[in-house]
Amino acid sequence: MIPRSVALICAAIILIVLVYSLFTGTSSQVPAPQSAGREITACVASTSGASAVDIPAGGIQLSVCPVSAIWQQGSIIPVPVESATLSLARPDPADRINYTDRGFPEQVNAAIAWWMFPGFDDANREYRRYLRGSPEERAAYPVEEQRFFTFVTKNLECAEREGRVSRETRLFRGVTPSVSALVMNSSWWRETPFASTSYDITVTLDPYATRDAGGYANVLVLSRQPGDQALYINEDQREFLLPRNTAWDVIRIEEIRNLTVDADFVLHNRTEKSASFHDVRLIWLRDAGCLA
């Protein structure tokens, strides 16, 4: 585990490099391949201005859809299923353009690279804790760390505005037992930070879906409709990053004893297009609606 002091030093170094690049000519964008579409010129962020949590995000906002206004229907009773087959389809190629091929400004590419860099797992968790924190908790962070997190947030949101799917896309997110219990008991879920999801459920079941006391691996199942924001990063984790403050209602819960996954592509870290899992709890979600 990387010590917090080391993570802060690394973050400070990256911040210095990014700020230096901003003031030494990164106004010129990285040219995008013709297949990736136009070059992004309006997506520019700086480290000054509003705090990270006050920046408008692509999802449902606290000021627009507060917790008290999210539709709640109470706990949903899980449905036991002895066996089931889940069919997966790879998203359209137009929705799977690597972030480095989208013509983003270099500071945006740097923020995405920081998000996905494996060695920064602990710093990434700290960043998400920061976004979840109260104003008082965020103010307790060192000023340099606040500025860096604000910089990352602004640039990720720039990228999110350009990342939209052209077709319906089913995504998966493995969650811890504590999160799954909260989601099932309240029948809704909102992720204050950005949320990592994958179009390949095996990515979430292999390392991320921690089993609960009942032995179930818990996976949130959600979908993005044409035009919805979802930023494809690259094929490493087959990852789509969702905007901050996206909110969902639970529509059904299935506790599947034997789950077969069939895909039209080779599954992650495998040589086959199918795989089998036992004791999987699928928590199906839909976009949350606010009361009028």
Position with higher pLDDT, 115 vs 24: 115
- The total number of structural domains in the chain stands at 1
Q: Answer whether residue 268 is part of any domain.
A: yes
CA distance 215 to 280: 9
Q: Answer whether residue 18 is part of any domain.
A: yes
* pLDDT surpassing 70 at residue 44: no
pLDDT in tens, 77-102: 999 999 999 999 999 999 999 999 99
Q: Strands, E, within the chain: which ranges?
A: 79-88, 169-174, 188-191, 195-198, 217-224, 231-232, 239-242, 246-263, 274-287
In whole numbers, what is the pLDDT of the chain averaged over residues? 80
CATH of the domain at 147: 3.90.176.10
pLDDT for the residue 274: 97
The neighbour count for residue 256, using CB atoms within 10 Å, is 22
Q: Answer whether 26's CB lies under 8 Å from 43's CB.
A: no
pLDDT for the residue 13: 47
**Residues contacting residue 39 through CB under 8 Å, at least 6 positions apart:** 29, 31, 32, 103
pLDDT for the residue 117: 84
Q: Answer whether residue 136 is part of any domain.
A: yes
Q: Answer whether residue 142 is part of any domain.
A: yes
Range of lowest pLDDT (23-27, 41-45, 158-162, 267-271): 23-27
Residue 248 pLDDT grade (very low, low, confident, very high; cuts 50, 70, 90):
very high
Q: Answer whether residue 292 is part of any domain.
A: no
Percentage of the chain surpassing pLDDT 90?
62
Q: Answer whether 156's CB lies under 8 Å from 82's CB.
A: no
Q: Domain containing 131: what range?
A: 4-287
Residue 10 pLDDT grade (very low, low, confident, very high; cuts 50, 70, 90):
low
Here the tokens at position 72 are 């709640």
Q: Answer whether 231's CB lies under 8 Å from 241's CB.
A: yes
Q: Answer whether residue 76 is part of any domain.
A: yes
pLDDT for the residue 43: 56
* pLDDT surpassing 80 at residue 232: yes
pLDDT for the residue 288: 84
Packing angle, helices 4-22 and 106-116, rounded to 10: 170
Range of lowest pLDDT (6-10, 45-49, 113-117, 216-220): 45-49
Q: Answer whether residue 109 is part of any domain.
A: yes
pLDDT for the residue 121: 76
Q: What is the mean pLDDT of residues 216-221?
A: 96
Q: Answer whether residue 82 is part of any domain.
A: yes
**Residues contacting residue 7 through CB under 8 Å, at least 6 positions apart:** 120, 122, 123, 126
* Residue 256: strand, helix, or coil: strand
Q: What is the mean pLDDT of residues 56-73?
A: 40
Phi and psi angles of residue 131, each rounded to the nearest 5 degrees, phi first: -65, -30
